[in-house]
Amino acid sequence: MTAGNNHDEPLLHRHPSNPILTSKDWPYSINSVFNPGATMLEDGTTLLLCRVEDRRGLSHLCAARSANGVDGWKIDPTPTLLPNPDEFPEELWGIEDPRLTYVPELKQYVVVYTSYSRGGPGVSLALTKDFHTFERYGVIMSADDKDAALLPHKIGGYWALIHRPMTALGAHIWISYSPDLRHWGSHKVMLEARRGAWWDANKIGLSAPPIETPRGWLVIYHGVRHTPAGCLYRLGLALFDLEKPEKCLRRGASWIFGPEADYERSGDVNDVVFPCGYTMNPDGDTINLYYGAADCSIALARTSVRTLLEWLDANGSCERRQRAEDL
């Protein structure tokens, strides 16, 4: 906590043009657009792979490209990746909330997304070189599981996937390993939801893919607090060991970002900020975090790796201590 006052400096700065994308921008009829995966293409173009909800309530993915990551978006004229329930029955009720990871070893982007069907939400994976054609691997984590992203390179010879299964233990963040991106095991809890009155009690999940820093994997995660008026989605910060990512080095006590602006506070689902992707500026420090606002629109907030790490140094503690505090 900052000593002596009640006015913490904001860590993330909302862009004045927010929301930067809404259903009104779409070239075809939709209900809403939110929770985009993000990446910066080789030529510096920002690509958002947006979750688009149609007017039946089912979601698909659609790519939007911009030279400056703020405006001038060129949106694919038709859906980029539609659910394909004939070949992939787990996609019956749509595909949602993609996270993008460029994997140098494969020279491809890995898209990890929620596939939704009768069994509940699960995690699916597809590869793409250009966001025009995709090679689907199908479901890799069966229901009930979501909020997943792949780390960009192997750790100790294995691919690593962060995800959020619902188990009898609760809704915690886990990590699993695979030799081939298809067969997954060595499941380990990475970060637990706190309990009771905490802002991240009940449910937590990965937001954008982890940010690799010399000090560790920097993870922005969402925490859900249940209130009589509904759920409150806010963001927190934690740092994990580079070689052993299930080992939490620091976890912030308070949230770093929550619904405050009108477009975050009211929409199809009120009081939700939900990032699924970021891009890094060429300075290697400035982060553009793209997030869904109230399940209705896409907004942008900026921060820097240095600032986030400094904040964790001042406001974080090691996980073991945190859990003792929680009791």
Q: Which is nearer to ligand BMA, 134 or 233 (CB)?
A: 233
The residue at minimum Cβ distance from ligand BMA is 269
Instruction: State the nearest-atom distance from the C-beta of 214 to ligand BMA, in Å.
Output: 32
Q: Which is nearer to ligand BMA, 233 or 263 (CB)?
A: 233
Q: Which is nearer to ligand BMA, 239 or 289 (CB)?
A: 289
Instruction: State the nearest-atom distance from the C-beta of 279 to ligand BMA, in Å.
Output: 20
Q: Which is nearer to ligand BMA, 109 or 116 (CB)?
A: 116
Q: Which is nearer to ligand BMA, 48 or 309 (CB)?
A: 48
Instruction: State the nearest-atom distance from the C-beta of 232 to ligand BMA, in Å.
Output: 10
Q: What are phi and psi of 310, to 5 degrees?
A: -65, -40
Q: Which is nearer to ligand BMA, 295 or 319 (CB)?
A: 295
Instruction: State the nearest-atom distance from the C-beta of 199 to ligand BMA, in Å.
Output: 15
Burial class (CB in 10 A: 0-12, 13-18, 19+), 82: middle
* Cis, bond preceding 144 (omega within 30 deg of 0): yes
Q: Which is nearer to ligand BMA, 14 or 51 (CB)?
A: 51
Instruction: State the nearest-atom distance from the C-beta of 121 to ligand BMA, in Å.
Output: 7
- Tokens of residue 148, six digits: 């997943």
CA pair distance 11, 308, nearest whole angstrom:
7
Q: What are phi and psi of 129, to 5 degrees?
A: -100, -25
Residue with tokens 């859906």: 79
Contact residues: ligand BMA, CB under 6 A: 35, 96-97, 233, 269, 272, 274, 292, 295
Instruction: State the nearest-atom distance from the C-beta of 116 to ligand BMA, in Å.
Output: 9
Instruction: State the nearest-atom distance from the C-beta of 269 to ligand BMA, in Å.
Output: 4
Instruction: State the nearest-atom distance from the C-beta of 239 to ligand BMA, in Å.
Output: 24
Q: Which is nearer to ligand BMA, 107 or 118 (CB)?
A: 118
- Tokens of residue 123, six digits: 């995690």
Q: What are phi and psi of 311, to 5 degrees?
A: -65, -40
Q: Which is nearer to ligand BMA, 7 or 118 (CB)?
A: 118
Instruction: State the nearest-atom distance from the C-beta of 215 to ligand BMA, in Å.
Output: 29
